[in-house]
Amino acid sequence: MGASKFKTLANNSLLVECKSETDRDILQMEIGKLSAVTVERAKRKLPTLLLMFVLKNVEDTAIKDTVLQQNNLSHVEDPVLNIKFTKRLFEESRHVVIEVSPNLRKELVALRKIKLYCSMCKVQNFVVVTRCPKCLGFGHPSRFCQNQQKCSP
């Protein structure tokens, strides 16, 4: 019962992980009674994928519907597909980073290549690793770093 993990974050806030949703709701209600403390639920990030070699003339707005229709993915429940940004440009094509729902990600990664209009696009997981240039540690940018400066080897 209760909280299972605590972690101090860079902006003087505290991350508390509860063992159940009931425990979370009770904790949130009790903390809500305090005037000096605010409660904010952590937002889950959607997984990101890299679509490689998307033709330049394909509009971002058409990608979601086209991916679902041409690759027989209409059975996927509540599919989310948002264009995040273009990673790399080539003469005729580009690499596009998309944010997808977990169930759609599973389907797309299993396919490995998808149809997008008249071309085939490779699908790969897209993972961003944050590394601090000050202390060379992972998981935070330099503006939140409280460690000593380190020189790279």
pLDDT at 103: 92
pLDDT at 10: 67
Helix (H) or strand (E) holding 120: strand 119-125
Write the pLDDT tens digit of every residue in 101-120: 999 999 999 999 999 988 99
Interior/surface letters 23-43, b for 16+ CB within 10 angstroms, e for the rest:
bbeeeeeeeeeeeeeeeeeee
Write the pLDDT tens digit of every residue in 9-40: 767 788 888 888 888 888 888 888 888 888 88
pLDDT at 43: 77
Is CATH 1.20.5 the classification given to domain 48-125? Answer: no
pLDDT at 47: 93
pLDDT of 153 above 80:
no
The structural domains of the chain, with segments of one domain joined by +, span: 1-43, 48-125
